[in-house]
Amino acid sequence: MSQPPADPGDRPLIVYQYTCMARKVLAVNEWFEPMRRVSEGLSYTIEGSGQPIVLIHGVGADLRSWDVVCQDLSGEFSLLRMDLRGHGRSSPIRAPYSIEKFASDAIAVMDAAGIRKAHLAGFSLGGLIGQSLAIDWPDRFEKVALISAVAGRTAEERSKVASRLGVIREKGIEAVTGAARDRWFTEDFVRANPQAIERRITELLANDKDSYLEAYRVFGETELVDQLHKIRHSTLVMTGENDQGSNTRMARTMKHKIADAELIILPYLKHSVLVEAPHEISRRLRVFFKS
């Protein structure tokens, strides 16, 4: 896919620097997680006070992905996060699923929580679900943040996703953990934070295989790039400078397709920005949602 043409009316590309890239990440205190609630087989939590934000995690993870972000923001916002269907403590996926079904699940959790309208932040698969929500449920959201999301993947990029799916189907999730480490984290972070890496890989391996395969298939096969122009919300697009799967070309495509979009490229980072730089994500979300 060719890069979208430059538009002099676009907002400028924002690149910011931050510190602590190789600093050790402290484990989140277990007591921090609020009480779990369940609706229609979907596990979710609500915490904090203020304007609501719906937080949607990526494939092979769960709502704990947002732990540090929630610690940072709970004094200023009401935070609703859920385990996607087939993840964490939500019910498994036992039939073909779709991005629309994941989006409907998010709306169902909002309804169960009594939240009519909220800001929205989605990471990776959560960013793709966020696109679907902004397109199909526009009245339910104020501002939208798409973090490490995908759009306009090339045939080669789609082929790589399909290849990983085939390996997982044949050999199990453990067969892709080594490559995941390389794609997700910078070398400095891996050296300084072996326990954080191990926690994330353990979380990945704990997934129900059939649910993971179906969620990953949805992530790999769904493409909403031709509908992004329908998003009329103020939108923040963020991705790591060295993220291979949700790369800067895709981020620029989203910025170009969405009328009111701001783009932030996170220097040096790869994919797992919620693990490697959660306080920076919190800072940027706070600024964006409060502006």
Q: Which domains does the chain have, with CATH numbers?
A: 14-290 (3.40.50.1820)
pLDDT at 176: 87
The pTM of the full predicted model, rounded to 2 decimals, is 0.89
| Mean pLDDT of the residues in the chain | 89
Neighbours of 96 (CB within 10 A): 9
- Cβ proximity of 242 and 267 under 8 Å: no
d(CA 185, CA 165): 20
* 120: three-class secondary structure by DSSP: strand
DSSP element (H, E) containing 47: strand 42-48
In the chain the first and final C-alpha atoms are separated, in Å, by 33
pLDDT tens-digit profile of 141-172?
999 999 999 999 999 999 988 899 999 999 99
Neighbours of 282 (CB within 10 A): 18
- Cβ proximity of 103 and 128 under 8 Å: no
- Give the residue-averaged pLDDT of 108-118: 97
